[in-house]
Chains A and B, each alone.
Chain A
Amino acid sequence: MQALLHQIFSGLANGGIYASIALALVMIYRSTHHVNFAQGEMAMFSTYIAWTLIQVGFPYWMAFALTLVFAFVSGVLIERIVVRPVEDKPILVVVIVFIGLLVIVNSIAGWLFDYTPKTFPSPFPDRPWYGSRYISAHELGMIVVTLCMLALIFTFFRFTPLGLAMRAAAQNPISSRLVGIRVGWMLAFGWGLAGVIGAVAGMMTAPIVYLDPNMMAGILLYGFAGALMGGIENPVGAAVGGFLVGVLENVAGAYVVGTELKLSVALAIIIAVLVVKPSGLFGKRLVTRV
């Protein structure tokens, strides 16, 4: 029983990472129907920026904040420079651009920082909080950080004028332009925000998996499984899906398929969702009367 609880809690901790990546994917998918394959690599690169800042002596949370700024700006720039020119091109062109982006970001990271894994500090204490036996302080911290971020994102989209404008632009670009929303910038902001969410995920993962240019490869797949499971159009669903995938993966890894085959759980989930319920567990069908 204790072992199972432990698996579930650490699954939730990983799930927070998957939820973040899933949310970043959904944010871009909702507005442009693009799946950003480079989401994980952008997160990894941001984490290297954090690592560099910490190496040169910045305190952790200062480095954390600066990294988020970097992630936002680089997300916006990538959208404006790389994605914008192919926006209306056939889907294959877009896919190839994203794969190219993935390879390029990965290679630049390898070239700048080399491929040897690096340790990345955790901002949370070594000892478990409140003497909990089921969960380490870092795992608990990961969950808390993820939940705070989800709450912030939700608040932003639900209650601010800019958040409303971004939702409007994703839904109906033409009507949005007719009320004066600069739709192009809203898409770029979306990329910036996705970059920020990914960067948080990267910095939370790195202490566990070690920092190296390929650290996000598997995580992107789990994130994708989470997004599909919750509903690729639904941010809340994607976050819940991410947590579910984390728990499923961990429990299945411990009791069913073994650690080596864990990643195949993600693939099985993707296939199962696509076959059984393509709109995802929480994907709601939009009701429209005409």
Chain B
Amino acid sequence: MTAILELEGVAAAYGAARVLHSVDLKVEQGGITALLGANGAGKTTTLRAICNLIVRRSGTIRFDGRPLEGMPTEDIVRLGIAHVPDGRGTFVGLTVEENLRLGAYTRRDRGEVAADFERVYGYFPRLRERGEQQAGTLSGGEQQMLAIARALMLRPRLLLLDEPSFGLAPMIVQDIFRILRTINRQEQVSVLLVEQNARMALALADHAYMLETGAIALEGPADAIGNNESVRRVYLGY
């Protein structure tokens, strides 16, 4: 297995406030890697550091062996990294269809984009029904689906997901995770999943990392992490 994304000694700060100290992490090609941790551990910051968004970062980040140092977010996206941000990042004043069109903004292959609309609507039929609706009027679950669909419109090789379960009813979370599994298999897209819902994330992922106060505390195959005594006590509650 080769790693599509590698982080080595990555640190990140907001102004003077340092959040990540030294993170080492790998996302395997075609796999689903979960990044778990408590509130404020630095999960979201790790994703932002990968995309060079908002934070000031240092250390080595390689995508497909290629270093991302000094590259602006807009160019990192063009390499095929789609980031579904925390809070879903919906363009609330635009229609659902416009949101999806923006996902394909960097692409020039128009025919393929049209086909991808169909593909994405296949995963999320609800979005087709709501195509002309203002995206801000969608429910939370629908907005999360829209955010994932928008990311897929890039035809990404790596999908970064920031808490897709946040604030959603358990039924909807299960739906979304089921679709994520399908997407991962059908599209050969690698996934880095940030979650607080450790149980769901470990069920989906192949490999997992535990982040504690800005550094990786534990890593391993997802089932091994799930069986780890202290992880079970602290994060899974049994």
Contacts and interface: CB of A to CB of B under 8 A. Distances in A.
A116 interface: no
Contacts of A171: 91-94
A176 B154 CA distance: 13
Contacts, number: 77
Interface size class of B (residues with CB under 8 A): 20 to 34
Contacts of B143: 289
Interface residues of A, number: 21
Contacts of A182: 74
A178 B51 contact: yes
A168 B102 contact: yes
Interface string B30-54: 0000000000000000000001011
A20 to B, nearest CB: 24
B173 to A, nearest CB: 16
A161 B51 CA distance: 24
Interface string B72-102: 0110011000110100011111100010011
A172 B136 CA distance: 12
Nearest to B81: A178
A165 B85 contact: no
A290 B98 CA distance: 19
A177 B82 CA distance: 11
A178 B106 CA distance: 11
A138 interface: no
A182 B76 CA distance: 12
A287 B138 CA distance: 10
Nearest to B160: A178
Q: Which 7 pairs between the two chains have the least Cβ-Cβ distance?
A: A175-B89, A180-B106, A180-B77, A288-B136, A177-B73, A179-B105, A179-B102
Given A165-B102, A175-B91, 9 more contacts: A161-B101, A164-B98, A167-B93, A182-B74, A286-B92, A287-B134, A287-B137, A289-B137, A289-B143
